[in-house]
Amino acid sequence: MRTLFLHAAMAAALTILPPIPGAAAQERPLIWEFTRNAPTAYTARLGSRLPIGADAGMGAEIGVRGPDLMASRQPVTWWAMLKTEGTELRGTTRTTRIDLRASKLSGRRTLSVNNVLAGRLGVLDTQFVHNLALDHNPAGSERVDIRTTRSIRLSSLRTGGVLVARASRTTQTQWVTSIGVEQPFRDAVRFSATVEHPGPRDWRGRLGASYSRRW
């Protein structure tokens, strides 16, 4: 009964609450965000920002699927986040974000740490990213799975072209590397090319193009 009441309350809020502007939402201690994932599926992100002098918060995410709220049995995901920014070297900025997610009380837990070092190298915007994630499922094995990804992103200020080199691995796999380029054309079309496992053998290539227009 309590779950049904909560789902009904969130569904009603979706219809009566106006969108909250980004600047105003940052000034409020409560987090009250809804995302539409499908015509009848929503995710409610509820929580509170923490008054610790940094961008931090904690709360819960609840799935709502309609139109029959009684048939909705989406799990609750608890989350916590901490984000800090600072100057690493002259002209560079380091951003560190730590996320913790736990499904239900005894479900899967994920801890991720994302470090981004951004700066300017001549006419290029540079970005170095290191992401580390630890997954643990108490209902399964006692093993902690580790995923790590490292990437370098170079963006041309003059042409808008982007070069990305990425390497990733898990506790179950070896390093997987890729090199990709993106180039915009007349602000609406973007071409991309990616080579996975670059080298004389086992390499795979992929070409793509996307179109975006706003009015």
Element (H, E) at 18: none
**Per-residue confidence at 134, pLDDT binned at 50, 70, 90?**
very high
pLDDT digits (tens, 9 = 90+) for 144-179: 899 999 999 999 988 889 999 999 999 888 888 999
| Average predicted confidence (pLDDT) for the chain | 79
Rounded mean pLDDT, 24-50? 77
Indicate if the alpha-carbon torsion angle 49, 136, 178, 175 is positive or negative.
positive
Question: What pLDDT does 159 receive?
Answer: 86
Res. 11: pLDDT tops 60:
no
Rounded mean pLDDT, 70-98? 81
- Nearest alpha carbon to residue 192 among 214, 175, 211: 211
Delimit the domains of the chain by residue range: 1-74, 77-209
Q: Give the amino acid at 40.
A: T
Q: Which two tokens stand for residue 109?
A: 């837990």
Say whether pTM exceeds 0.85.
no
For 118, 125, 156, 160, 163, the CA distances from 183, given in Å and listed in that order, are: 20, 15, 10, 7, 9
Whole-angstrom distance, CA of residue 166 vs CA of residue 127: 12
The DSSP bridge partners found for residue 58 are: 48, 80
Q: Do the beta carbons of residue 191 and residue 209 sit within 8 Å?
A: yes
